[in-house]
């Protein structure tokens, strides 16, 4: 698939950025990586896109129109509109959706939307309180004009699209004998919009602070991982674990050993009732200790590890700096953990990272056959001035990076040269 970003922050003009099962985002701070994650999260959100650009859903916060639309300064000023969309090219012809937003009382408002599917194409725009558009590419090759009064376009979602379109059809079209077939086509187009992208879940760059004792029970998803201790306790205390629960524990313990962070985790209930307060203890080489007492790395990695293996969550996870507070050995173990899950088609990942250890381990995994090079993409974000440039980099079968621009890793090479040339 590709994410389409147009005039959002440093993404001046149109950018069609590919996404693979394991996509690694690299580049300096403020080069556009988090903005890209916010855009991918927004177009994958079936509860808001395309009616609204949910670029402020936790953990993202891009603000209102004046902080989202590209600003170049001088005569260029700020972009009048910005666009957000995606295209998916699988076995069927390409499915693509693209929404354009304009300012409205400091916020954003949908002003046009284009959808292309194998069932037909749709182009909509709002002009002076009216919805106008065209349905084209239909089996009989006759374009149908849409026109109705609809001042507020924000309810436009895959669920509401069929009703809005049918009510916008000319009266004679709605009443013709073949109208039922047209309605079926519209429903099929709406389903493409709803199901052409996998759902995503985002995990914050800084996860929740560990507690010595947990008492308020909540398993509701939280990007910071507040729900993870409760999910863990429930699984750890289960006497007859399901296959998926056992798989989670196996993957978690394998990562703990590979990273050197822990041997196993233990839930300690402080009472006889199921709702009693509990503690999460961490066992290393010796006795177990409270999660609060074993260093920040364990608590920061657990939300990622647990959420990655849970089958009940979205199939694609968006991660910001999973290596935070981790030793290089644990950062490398993260690379193997992600590679393993992608190779077994358990999850897909889009990962913003500053860790060479994580990236190099993925490259080793490609060379060792743990994961196919066809499943891995490195996106290099480079912002030499005020505009972001994105370079897609592929790996060969030996894990070598292909097609890197000359300035890729320029800083690191210069640092090494400075060491070589230093005066003793």
Domain boundaries, the chain: 10-32+328-424, 45-195, 206-313
Rounded to an integer, the average pLDDT of 315-344 is: 95
CB 116 within 8 A of CB 96: yes
d(CA 395, CA 371) in angstroms, rounded, equals: 11
Q: Tokens 């009382």 correspond to what residue?
A: 105
d(CA 20, CA 2) in angstroms, rounded, equals: 9
CB 6 within 8 A of CB 15: yes
d(CA 373, CA 397) in angstroms, rounded, equals: 6
What are the pLDDT digits (tens) for 260-304?
Answer: 999 999 999 998 887 789 999 999 888 899 999 988 889 899 999
Decide the pairing of beta strands 348-352 and 316-320.
parallel
pLDDT at residue 207 in the model: 86
CB 224 within 8 A of CB 340: no
CB 279 within 8 A of CB 311: no
pLDDT at residue 141 in the model: 66
Counts for the chain of helices (H) and strands (E), in that order: 11, 18
Q: Residue 372 to residues 25, 340, 406: CA-CA distances in angstroms? A: 18, 10, 26
Residue 138, pLDDT above cutoff 60? yes
What are the pLDDT digits (tens) for 186-207?
Answer: 899 999 998 888 899 999 988 8
Highest-pLDDT range among 42-46, 140-144, 237-241, 411-415: 42-46
Residue 424, pLDDT above cutoff 60? no
d(CA 353, CA 332) in angstroms, rounded, equals: 12
- Average model confidence (pLDDT) across the chain: 90
What are the pLDDT digits (tens) for 176-189?
Answer: 777 778 888 889 99
Helical spans, DSSP H, in 207-273: 228-236, 243-259
Residue 390, pLDDT above cutoff 90? yes
What are the backbone dihedrals phi and psi of residue 127, each rounded to the nearest 5 degrees, phi first?
-130, 115
- Dihedral sign (CA 345, 20, 99, 117): negative
What are the pLDDT digits (tens) for 355-378?
Answer: 999 999 999 999 999 999 999 999
Rounded to an integer, the average pLDDT of 44-49 is: 92
Specify the pTM. Answer: 0.92
What are the pLDDT digits (tens) for 206-264?
Answer: 888 889 999 866 778 888 888 889 888 888 888 888 888 888 888 889 999 999 999 99
DSSP structure class, residue 78: B
pLDDT at residue 217 in the model: 67
Which two structure tokens, joined as six digits, stand for 366?
């490609």
């Amino acid at each position: 698939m590709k994410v389409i970003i147009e005039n959002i922050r440093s993404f001046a003009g149109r950018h069609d950025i590919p996404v693979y099962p394991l996509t690694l985002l690299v580049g300096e701070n403020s080069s556009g990586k988090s903005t890209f994650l916010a855009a991918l999260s927004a177009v994958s959100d079936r509860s808001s896109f395309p009616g609204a650009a949910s670029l402020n859903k936790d953990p993202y916060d891009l603000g209102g129109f004046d902080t989202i639309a590209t600003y170049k300064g001088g005569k260029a000023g700020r972009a009048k509109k910005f666009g957000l969309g995606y295209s998916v090219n699988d076995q069927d012809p390409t499915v693509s959706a693209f929404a354009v937003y304009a300012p409205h009382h400091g916020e954003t408002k949908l002003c046009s939307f284009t959808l292309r599917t194998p069932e037909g194409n749709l182009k909509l725009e709002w002009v002076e309180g009216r919805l106008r558009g065209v349905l084209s590419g239909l089996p009989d090759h006759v374009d149908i004009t849409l026109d109705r009064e609809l001042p507020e376009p924000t309810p436009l979602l895959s669920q509401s699209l069929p009703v809005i379109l049918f009510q916008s059809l000319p009266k004679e079209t709605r009443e013709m004998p073949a109208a039922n077939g047209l309605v079926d086509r519209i429903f099929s187009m709406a389903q493409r919009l709803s199901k052409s992208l996998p759902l995503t879940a985002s995990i914050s760059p800084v996860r929740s602070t560990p507690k010595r004792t947990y008492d308020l029970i909540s398993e509701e998803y939280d990007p910071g991982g507040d729900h993870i201790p409760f999910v863990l306790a429930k699984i750890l205390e289960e006497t007859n674990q399901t296959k998926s629960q056992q798989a989670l524990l196996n993957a978690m313990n394998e990562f703990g050993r590979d990273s050197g962070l822990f041997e196993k985790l233990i839930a300690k209930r402080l009472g006889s009732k199921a709702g009693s307060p509990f503690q999460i203890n961490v066992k290393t080489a010796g006795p177990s200790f409270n999660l609060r007492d074993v260093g920040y790395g364990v608590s920061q990695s657990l939300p990622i590890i647990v959420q990655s293996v849970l089958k009940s969550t979205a199939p694609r996870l968006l991660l910001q700096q999973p290596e935070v507070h981790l030793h290089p050995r644990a950062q490398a173990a993260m690379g193997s953990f992600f590679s393993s899950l992608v190779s077994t088609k358990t999850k897909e990942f889009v990962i913003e990272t500053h860790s060479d250890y994580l990236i190099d381990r993925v490259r080793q995994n490609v060379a060792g056959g743990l994961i196919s090079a066809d499943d891995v993409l490195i996106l290099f974000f480079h912002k030499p001035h005020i505009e972001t440039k994105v370079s897609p980099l592929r790996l060969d079968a030996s894990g070598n990076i292909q097609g890197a621009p000359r300035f890729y890793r320029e800083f690191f090479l210069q640092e090494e040269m400075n060491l070589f040339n230093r005066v003793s």
